[in-house]
Amino acid sequence: EDQVTQSPEALRLQEGESSSLNCSYTVSGLRGLFWYRQDPGKGPEFLFTLYSAGEEKEKERLKATLTKKESFLHITAPKPEDSATYLCAVQGGSYIPTFGRGTSLIVHP
Amino acid sequence: DTAVSQTPKYLVTQMGNDKSIKCEQNLGHDTMYWYKQDSKKFLKIMFSYNNKELIINETVPNRFSPKSPDKAHLNLHINSLELGDSAVYFCASSSPGGLTDTQYFGPGTRLTVL
């Protein structure tokens, strides 16, 4: 069974204080690892898909990286508008998407 | 332009009732999903349809019945609602291609069973 564990569960940062969110996974035949952002009362919003170890993707202040066992979402100089829950998900050979429980990020001005 | 829409946004009902949630996507995607997000924000897949055909059914009670009249619509009907069904239900769609599927989510339907 595919598993995804995200840490920390919650993270408080000051504006401009860079940090990283972790997503550890076990999957049979990784087809893709996804990062989503979810704001309160809304559906998850797609950020990145990573397909193979060593791959990196960037979008504004966010950078996602992937190894064979984990992915990191690096947030550089965050702003209050980056506050949200960040979800990690994997899709393996079964094609069934498996989500982690998310990291709730709060960025204080 | 709304990509994935759900109705209603909120649904409050009594135990034992039957209710439906509707989902529509205008992205031209072939695959649609229903997810349940519990009070601890854990998102778990329930069903997936590809071109109106059920392809994923994740040990969901048979009180839950998805119906896909066409590939742009996936509705969820729930019979004999129970307290434990209270959650936020998300519809999503994707277009399989290449290695994997990127999913686009609707805004969610918050179901409260009293």
* pLDDT tens digits for range A87-100: 999 998 888 889 99
Are A89 and A36 in contact, with CB atoms under 8 Å apart? yes
- Chain B's closest residue to A37, CA to CA, is B105
- B92 touches A36 (CB < 8 A): no
End-to-end CA distance of chain B: 34
Q: Are A28 and A94 in contact (CB under 8 A)?
A: yes
- pLDDT at B1 (0 to 100): 66
A101 CB neighbours in chain B (<8 A) are 40-42
A97-99/A84-91 β-pairing: antiparallel
Pairing of strands A56-59, B64-70: unpaired
Q: What is the nearest CA distance from B51 to chain A, expressed in angstroms?
A: 16
Looking at this protein, which amino acid is placed at residue B34?
Answer: W
CA-to-CA distance for B78 and B65, rounded, in angstroms? 6
Query: Is the distance from CB of B5 to CB of B106 less than 8 angstroms?
Result: yes
Residue in A with minimal Cα distance to B110: A41
- What is the block-wise mean pLDDT of chain B (114 residues), using blocks of 10 residues? 90 97 93 91 89 82 91 94 96 71 91 97
Residue of B nearest to A50 (CA): B100
Q: Which of A51, A5, A11 is nearest to A30 (CA)?
A: A51
pLDDT of residue B96: 64
What is the distance between the terminal CA atoms of chain A, rounded to a whole angstrom? 41
Q: Is B72 in CB contact (< 8 Å) with chain A?
A: no
Closest B-chain CA to A52: B99
Retrieve residue A70's tokens. Answer: 């984990």
Q: Which residues of B touch A91 (CB under 8 A)?
A: 100-101
Does A40 touch chain B if contact means CB atoms closer than 8 Å? Answer: no
Region of residue A55 (left: phi > 0; alpha: psi -120 to 50; beta: else): beta
CB contact A1 to B (< 8 Å): no
Within chain A, strands assigned E span 3-7, 10-14, 19-26, 32-38, 45-50, 56-59, 62-66, 70-75, 84-91, 97-99, 103-108
Q: Does the structure show a pLDDT above 60 at A76?
A: yes
Q: Is the CB of residue A103 less than 8 Å away from at least one CB of chain B?
A: no
The residue type of B55 is I
Position A106 scores a pLDDT of 98
B101 and A32 within 8 Å at the Cβ level: the answer is: yes
Amino acid code (one letter) for B9: K
> Which pLDDT score, from 0 to 100, does residue B51 have?
80
